[in-house]
Amino acid sequence: MAIRLSTRDADFAERFDALLAAKREVAEDVDAAVAAILEDVRVRGDAALVDHSRRFDRIDLETTGIRVTAEEIDAAEGDCDPETLQALAFARDRIEAHHRRQMPANETYHDPIGVQLGHRWTAVDSVGLYVPGGTAAYPSSVLMNAAPAKVAGVGRVAMVVPSPDGKLSPLVLAAAKLAGVDEVFRIGGAQAIGALAYGTATVRPVAKIVGPGNAFVAAAKRRVFGTVGIDMIAGPSEVLVIADHTGNPDWIAADLLAQAEHDVAAQSLLITSDPSLADAVEAAVERQLALLPRREIASASWRDFGAIIVVDDIADAPALADRIAAEHLEIIAEDADGLSEQVRHAGAIFLGPHTPEAIGDYVGGSNHVLPTARTARFASGLGVLDFLKRTSILRCGPEQLRALGAAAMRLGEAEGLHGHARSVAIRMN
């Protein structure tokens, strides 16, 4: 049973603050271990990968090879259920089509005094994609990370995935092939991040690393940031449903549980203006929990981090939603559009009763890699822009230099950078 709050409660502000502040993850301090592993990979390369994979994944890379061969990937594909492969290809096509629309345009223009300004977008040359092993190996995440990179024009996408006890998910390998991943390596953990950042004899270094991972992976990404680019550090997933009296309690309960089943640290929240809907959703959650294979995870998440917040007026919901800054926000209400427009901080918004978040997780076309843990206050979901960079372009002729030169020289002198001023003056005399 989740907690219940009402904006009418005398202690609502405090309890809402406590909900926002709840630590859903224990920050493991793995920094020293990670620093040592990264340094070992930087110095010893493949030999370090072999050692650490033996220790962490109980696998002998000297026997299996570090790289997963094209034959292995084809064989894995053959092991997959054909209908699931079809669904993956359908998802890939929709993700690619949507992300193609995100490609930004280059620009060139001349300002009123004739200075040419502009910028040009180019793709990152090479990207490393981290894919977790074990139960969190999601083929859909391979598509969501690799497809935008390929749409952006990244020439080389190198995927790393740990292979505990020698096992790899056939669907993950099939998704890599579908998404156009160029190289797959059976390595994980901080050692895989080190290999991608510094390069080894087998793994050429990349320019940017994306994808979720455990505490070791997150700490390693934080450390190599600067040597390579990284995406955000992903935390446990969350959903917020805003619903008025039009909400179907069974549907809403199913959506809350779809989030809760991810992880005991996942969070499912409901804000509603209808107290009877609050009761009905709560009852439906309990009923549906019994039907879920992952009910132990889902019930722990719902018990520890779930919450139902009753507001007097549904118009009060957007302000609370902004405080929560949820990764996923469903709005099921008569005026879903109006409410949506009021919200400033959310990773993705799912509008109306027929858009369960699970559609966006797989086949909506938009990206399911979204900012968690209130980072939607400053971060965006993954997209094509994450795999492009912008070069600015400036050109003056003699006239423009004359028009701008005096101010530039004045500022150079004021900052004590006389060489800056001289580089302008020498052209004006």
Feature table: binding site: 130, 191, 214, 237, 259, 262, 328, 361, 415, 420
CB count in 10 Å sphere of residue 77: 18
Q: How far is the CB of 207 from a copy of itself (least distance, A)?
A: 4
416 near a copy of itself, judged by CB under 8 A: yes
Across 13-56, the runs of DSSP E, i.e. the strands, are none
The interface with a copy of itself within residues 33-62 (CB under 8 A) comprises: none
Q: Say which residues have a Cβ less than 8 Å from residue 273's Cβ, sequence separation at least 6.
A: 244, 245, 310, 311, 312, 313, 314, 316, 317
User: To which H or E segment does residue 388 belong?
Assistant: strand 388-395
Binding of a copy of itself at residue 140 (CB under 8 A)?
Answer: yes
**Residue 82 CB contacts under 8 Å (≥ 6 apart), including other chains:** none
254 within 8 A of 298, measured Cβ to Cβ:
no
Pairwise CA distance, residues 365 & 92, whole Å: 8
Crossing angle of helices 139-152/82-100, nearest 10°? 40
**Distance (Å, whole) CA 387 – CA 375:** 20
Query: Which one, 65 or 397, has the nearer CB to a copy of itself?
Result: 397
Please report, in angstroms and rounded to a whole number, the separation of the first and last CA atoms in the chain. 79
Distance of alpha carbon 288 from alpha carbon 75, whole angstroms = 38
Which of 55-63, 77-85, 176-184, 275-283 is the region at the interface with a copy of itself (rule: CB under 8 A)?
Answer: 77-85
Q: Is 296 a catalytic residue?
A: no
Which residues line the annotated binding site for Zn(2+)? 259, 262, 361, 420
Scanning 67-75, 93-101, 156-164, 193-201 for contacts with a copy of itself by CB under 8 A, the matching segment is 93-101
Question: Which region among 42-50, 53-61, 187-195, 220-228 touches a copy of itself (by CB under 8 A)?
Answer: 220-228
90 binds a copy of itself per the rule CB under 8 A? yes
Judged by CB under 8 A, the chain residues 155 through 184 that form the site for a copy of itself are: 171
Binding to a copy of itself by residue 254, rule CB under 8 A?
yes
Residues from 194 through 213 that contact a copy of itself (CB under 8 A): 207-208
Interaction with a copy of itself in 381-410: which residues (CB under 8 A)? 381, 383, 385, 389-398, 400-401, 404-408, 410
Q: Is 328 a catalytic residue?
A: yes
Candidates 183, 238, 261, 327; catalytic one: 327
Q: How far apart are CA 413 and CA 284, in angstroms?
A: 71
Choosing from 52, 98, 328, 368, the catalytic residue is 328
Residue 379 lies near a copy of itself (rule: CB under 8 A) = yes
Residues of this chain, 344-373, that bind a copy of itself according to CB under 8 A:
344-367, 370-371, 373
Residues annotated as catalytic (active site), given as ranges: 327-328
